[in-house]
Structure 1
Amino acid sequence: MKMNTRNRLWIYSILGMFTTIVVLAFARLSYGVFLPFMRESLRLSYKQAGYLGTTTSLGYLSTIIFAGILASKWGSKKTILLGISLVTVGLSGLAVTVSYWVSFLFMLVLGIGTSFTYTPFISLLVAWFPQKKGLVIGLTTSGAGIGILFAGIVVPFLENWNHDIGWRVAWALFAVIGLFVVVLTFIFIKEPPADSSSVKSNNKNAAKEIYKNPSVINVGLIYGIVGLTYIVQTIFIMSFMIFSEISVKAAGQLMAVNGILSIFSGPIWGAISDRLGRRRSLTMTMGLTGLSMILPVLFPSLIGFAIHIIILSCTSTGLFALTQASSMDHVRPAEMPIAFSYVTFYFAVGQFIGPAIAGWLIDEGGGFKSAFIFSFICLAFGLLLTLKVKNSHPSKQAISYLEEEINELY
């Protein structure tokens, strides 16, 4: 199926949204919405709940490098299809889980599936549209907001409908949507013409140069902090609100508001950064995210949580998009997948250790407030790191070359 570059950008970005909905929102970020109900039904402690949140990150972290190798051999499309299929299996398993250890297994599968999906998909999009990477990554990450909105509405609704199996029906529904995305990906996604140049550049020397690049390392550290703090907030904010005597209905509505606003955060901040530069945009989003994280600690009330959700939702997916785009600003186009995979490793480490630390702090160190203070401190350090980010723009020659290749092939 032939299509011009503009149509391809929108079709691939929409498919990217759907993919993000499944592998990020459903497989990773919605766990916090499920947690109060799963914890009660499966009789989990907060430590165990934190470990389950860490489990998906363990699966992600342990396979992210292998996923990059597999993508270089199989191609991005086949790897993405494998990843979404694994995520669908994990979502299906959680619908019928009966214990902590069964949940552990399927959460691990979710993490593995995400590693085989998200990074290859972002790399594929950037290979197709290097001159618009801030925009396409922003559009793709907006799927996280859509998914959170959907989860924030559906999970509490189904739980009110049937307290015993409502959360299980929600996981099953997510699995059906995952299967739908597998079919769409198979039909529409094509390998980018830039893959041939990527192979030439994907050698040990190029990788070593990227791994030693101070600019890439700095972005990796920022991405690690983003991963750590965001997963902590996502997993425990619903429980924090309920613990602070916010009703389940009100908490679910705030999660829905988070989802609505997050939809626009990614593309808006991505487009802004393409014009104003990554450093300025990153500094603003990191500062606002840090401010939002301390608000529920100081004001654990409906108003405090509402302001926290509003500020965070206006910056969070934008922060994801900006960090991802920044990771590829300082390397050649053919080396972008390597750079993105490398900084994603930092992100996975942050998501791996975050829930375990937060779960321990909640049980042993002073409740939910201690976990959010910990996140605030991490984000303050991240703010200092954003001041060291260097602005960069994609090579005009590389852009011209890719556009010529696309016109010839399509």
Structure 2
Amino acid sequence: MESNKKLWSYAIIGMLTTIVVLAFARLSYGVILPFMREGLHITYKQAGYLGTTTSLGYLSTIIFAGILASKWGSKRTVLLGISLVTLGLAGLSFSFSYPETFIFMLLLGIGTSFTYTPFISLLVAWFPHRKGFVIGLTTSGAGIGILLAGILVPYLSRINEEIGWRIAWGIFSVIGLLVVVLTLFFIKNPPAENPGKQNRQQSSAKEIYKNPKVINVGLIYGIIGITYIVQMIFVMSYMIESGISVKYAGQLMALNGILSIFSGPIWGVISDKIGRRTSLILTMGLTAFSMLLPVLFPTLIGFTIHTVILSCTSTGLFTLTQASSMDHVKPADMPVAFSYVTFYFAVGQFIGPTIAGWLIEDWGGFTSAFLFCTICLLVGLALTFKVKNSVQQTPAVTKVTPEFNERVTQS
């Protein structure tokens, strides 16, 4: 009972952390941008640079974040990261110039890298046999946060057109401060961690980076990064260009956010039962099928089925890939392995929009971009067949013993 209570408390704090560092600090930018752009008197080009700045901050520090967490302790690293994110959110609410805004957007990206991967690693170290479930609950925070931002930002902007967007950033920062306090008082490092002292069983980062199983998961995660960001950025425009009304397109986007909240936990539980490999094959196959639908049927029905299937699998893919990245390394190596595969994801998110934009402009419009995503996902599907279940997930295991844990650690 005590262990179950602890799992839920850690998962809920993890969910709140995801709301702040992923939804508020990264994904909500698109919601706030129309109001923020007018308030700061910046061009669309400058607004695009600000979005890239956050991605650059995340990409440039994600590897270092995992290494720091393995040496410094996950809790201290998370506290550093969420504090940077909170500072960035608060700064944006008071920013009146482009250079200031640039710095605070960079802080959001850096803070996210120091928060998200170490927190996931901490959860997995505490609950190694239910990693799919706890990661699923944590990642569901992204959908919840986007839903909240989508409601809050337009409402505040209607109340006060000039400073509504500033109030939104301010509210996000207050929630971030709350997460800092919760983490400080209720989150503890797992027993296996001994910050400040090198773990004798810890592998070198070079060993992890050369692990073919980890590299394979990283490639899968990179493909997910490309396709996820392209779909998020361009599907609304694709629907409108195909004759779908703005109102219905918006409703489909809202539906996507709602359904994605439940996708992560459900697929996490499924993967804990039937294995990561089978679950990845199912979700990747369904995602590839859903991405192909708008290419073949750019109609109301096609986009509706596309949205429903994708929203039921996309967050699950995040959960499964993140869990898989830590299935074949020692507990002490989990932060490094997770940050390493997340680097692939960050690279995918960085290059995806550029490739898609080029295809849309010069090679057949939105159809070519979504066909490109489908091909990428089919490559990812082929890679999922190479994923192996960890020893912990084999059906024959009925009892966990110290000897069993030792074998897993050495595998």
Superposed, which structure 2 residues align to 1:279-290 within 5 Å?
Answer: 279-290=277-288
- Partner SS for 2:188: coil
Q: Alignment partner for residue 54 of structure 1, among 39, 52, 55?
A: 52
Residues 270-309 of structure 1: CA deviation (Å, up to 9, x unaligned): 1111111112111111122223334344555554443332
> Aligned pair in 2 of structure 1 residues 230, 93: CA closer, same or farther (>3 Å)?
farther
Q: Please state how far the C-alpha of 1:313 moved relative to its aligned partner.
A: 1.3
Q: Distance in 2 between matches of 1:67 and 1:271?
A: 28
Counterpart in the other structure of 1:408: none
Task: Report % sequence identity.
Answer: 73
Q: Alignment partner for residue 69 of structure 1, among 67, 70, 74?
A: 67
Q: Please tell me the root mean square deviation across aligned C-alpha atoms, in Å.
A: 3.1
Q: Alignment partner for residue 330 of structure 2, among 329, 332, 339?
A: 332
AA partner of residue 131 (structure 1)? H
> Aligned pair in 2 of structure 1 residues 128, 327: CA closer, same or farther (>3 Å)?
same
Q: Distance in 1 between matches of 2:157 and 2:247?
A: 11
Q: Distance in 2 between matches of 1:124 and 1:253?
A: 36
Q: Distance in 2 between matches of 1:367 and 1:95?
A: 37
Counterpart in the other structure of 1:154: 152
Superposed, which structure 2 residues align to 1:2-401 within 5 Å?
Answer: 4-38=2-36, 42=41, 44-45=43-44, 50-97=48-95, 102-196=100-194, 199-204=199-204, 207-241=205-239, 250-300=248-298, 302-362=300-360, 367-394=365-392, 400-401=401-402
Q: Do 2:70 and 2:335's aligned partners in 1 also have CA atoms closer than 8 Å?
A: no
Residues 200-233 of structure 1: CA deviation (Å, up to 9, x unaligned): 23342xx333222211111010011112221232
> Aligned pair in 2 of structure 1 residues 403, 111: CA closer, same or farther (>3 Å)?
farther
Structure 2: 5+ residue stretches without partners: 406-411
- Partner SS for 1:394: helix
TM-score normalised by L of structure 1? 0.86
Q: Distance in 1 between matches of 2:66 and 2:399?
A: 23
Q: Distance in 1 between matches of 2:2 and 2:348?
A: 39
Q: Please state how far the C-alpha of 1:314 moved relative to its aligned partner.
A: 0.6
> Aligned pair in 2 of structure 1 residues 37, 366: CA closer, same or farther (>3 Å)?
farther
- Partner SS for 2:392: coil
Q: Distance in 1 between matches of 2:403 and 2:72?
A: 22
Residues 30-49 of structure 1: CA deviation (Å, up to 9, x unaligned): 2333445556665544x655
Q: Do 1:87 and 1:109's aligned partners in 2 also have CA atoms closer than 8 Å?
A: yes
Q: Please state how far the C-alpha of 1:245 moved relative to its aligned partner.
A: 6.5
Q: Please state how far the C-alpha of 1:183 moved relative to its aligned partner.
A: 1.6
Structure 1: 5+ residue stretches without partners: 405-410
Q: Please state how far the C-alpha of 1:149 moved relative to its aligned partner.
A: 1.9
Counterpart in the other structure of 2:408: none
Q: How many residues align?
A: 399
Q: Do 2:202 and 2:330's aligned partners in 1 also have CA atoms closer than 8 Å?
A: no
TM-score normalised by L of structure 2? 0.85
Residues 303-346 of structure 1: CA deviation (Å, up to 9, x unaligned): 44433322221111110010011111122333222221221221
Q: Distance in 2 between matches of 1:166 and 1:246?
A: 30
Q: Please state how far the C-alpha of 1:241 moved relative to its aligned partner.
A: 4.8
AA partner of residue 120 (structure 1)? P
> Aligned pair in 2 of structure 1 residues 125, 158: CA closer, same or farther (>3 Å)?
same
